[in-house]
Structure 1
Amino acid sequence: MSERQPPRDEDANLCRLGRAVIEVETEAVHALASRIDADFARACRHMLACEGRVVVLGMGKSGHIGGKIAATLASTGTPAFFVHPGEASHGDLGMITPRDVVLALSNSGETDEITTILPLIKRLSVPLIALTGRPESTMARSASVHLDVSVAEEACPLGLAPTASTTAALAMGDALAVALLEARGFTREDFARSHPGGRLGRRLLLRIEDIMHGGERIPRVQAETPLGEALVEMTNKGLGMTAVVDAEGHLLGVFTDGDLRRALDREVDVHRTRVDAVMTRGGRTITRDRLAAEALALMENHGINALPVVDEQRRIVGALNMHDLLRAGVV
């Protein structure tokens, strides 16, 4: 039995409702721009001066947004963590120290679990930054700095489910995090160090020595080696090339798949021809302390698939190819 296809007007209505939500939330975020003012700067100053961590509080949907804000702050150079305010009054308040800053979220500004612990936060004399939708609320009036994240309406047609209000709070949290990132001079390398498992971390932190082939796995032959033996070395080591070195291990050139094809086109004798007669002299190289991402750029820019790794005296110390970069997640 075939599945009933919904009428086209039902699909059109669903799309209309979806677009309406996006429009309402877009307006809510757009309205925040005019509120990036002196209070916003004061909030940033409190967090920049914080000698401890930013402790983020929020209940329900605001708690979910608070967790995201804490994670964004922590990953962009501002130490932060989330504390459930319901648990705070049952022991977790001990996680807040006089060196911290508290960032509390509540659309109403009257969340019982947060207002209950306001006197305790005050007793610690820590700055309290409140993100609420009501400047006249208890939380707003108790805060060191209040950031207005009110919205004209929720995207929910019932006006009940937190939608535009949580989007606005999240956007304000992102604004704080990025402003602090810039003020601290936080760099791509700093970001990578806090995300070592991500692709950016691998691109910015992984070095040649971490992925290169070394020791007996390096394809290399002497300059006088017959071409046939060089081909065997290249095949056995599986990097698509072999380094050609002198008696002290200094790199003279490389013999690649391309060199082999050119040699065969010339119908050279693979048993009698020395490899240095058909190799690419010099060739592109890289040192072991360089970033793996630099090797990728070098290979892409020059249309090559493998690189010898050399030291300051151009002695061969390793080798790698594009497959190594792929396995390492750099590509």
Structure 2
Amino acid sequence: MDYEIVDLDECVVSALKMFSKTELPRLELDFRKPLVVGSGNAAVTGRIIFEDREAVFADESTYQTKIEAVPDIDGALIISASGGKHAPVIAEHLKEKGKKVVLLTCNPDAPAKKFADDVHVSPKQTEPYTYNTSTYMGMILAKTKEDAGGILQFIEEKVKPLIPDNLKDYSAFYFIVPEELDAVRELFLTKFDELFGPMINGRVFTFEQTKHAKTVVPSDRELFVSFGVENNVFGTKRLNIPLPDNAGPAALMAVGYYFIGHIQKQNPPYFKQNIERYCEFASREFGQKITPIVE
């Protein structure tokens, strides 16, 4: 392995430094009711970006059904950091259906761009495959206009000192997030899947969702971590992590990813030991070259 796989928290810090010095592009669409399509974190990013307007959301498994079921969809936005894997197939299908296709990507050479009517390229940094920290954080920041430099300062001054050095003692983590930032939950769930697989369990809910039978089975090895929410009720092992005042989705994403990066640091390098093998598998499955480091 002649490349370095940094931990997720380091990726967050470098991304925020970059965005504090980078002007982000504006995304302006003239659709009345767009179909917003993405896979994994891209799908979540789409819901965050378009939560304040009428849109139909879909992923690689549902876009065909949605385009048939909602006749007044007047265009499509495909969100894909790489613009590869499923994105070209989706874009081609939507073009065949007569829909205007806009691609939001971080790759100026995205394979899907040949099927797109318009392409918006968002800045990113070099980072390990699947991390998608700068990619989707940049798209979210472009929408919310949150202060990347302020988020970084908050993390370094308010969050970093609170992170315990015994995270390896826990086999499960339960994140509690603010009700108004519910959409970010899936970003954290996906990151637990990608970094830890079955080795460390991650659960993420809001405070109100947690009231609904999420704590029937307790464990002394599950740490309840609340972000911007005071938790004096759920779990026996608790940690309250603050968020900046009026925190938006990018701030929660950054703070949560930073914390997950410290879980990664304090445990065996599950991701680093397996990502090269996985990229070989993914390259075969998608018929595209996928590497452990994405430039």
For the aligned pair, the TM-score class normalised by the smaller chain equals 0.3 to 0.5
Bigger Cα Rg? 1
- Please report the TM-score for the alignment, with normalisation by the length of structure 2: 0.39
Higher helix share: 1
- Please report the TM-score for the alignment, with normalisation by the length of structure 1: 0.36
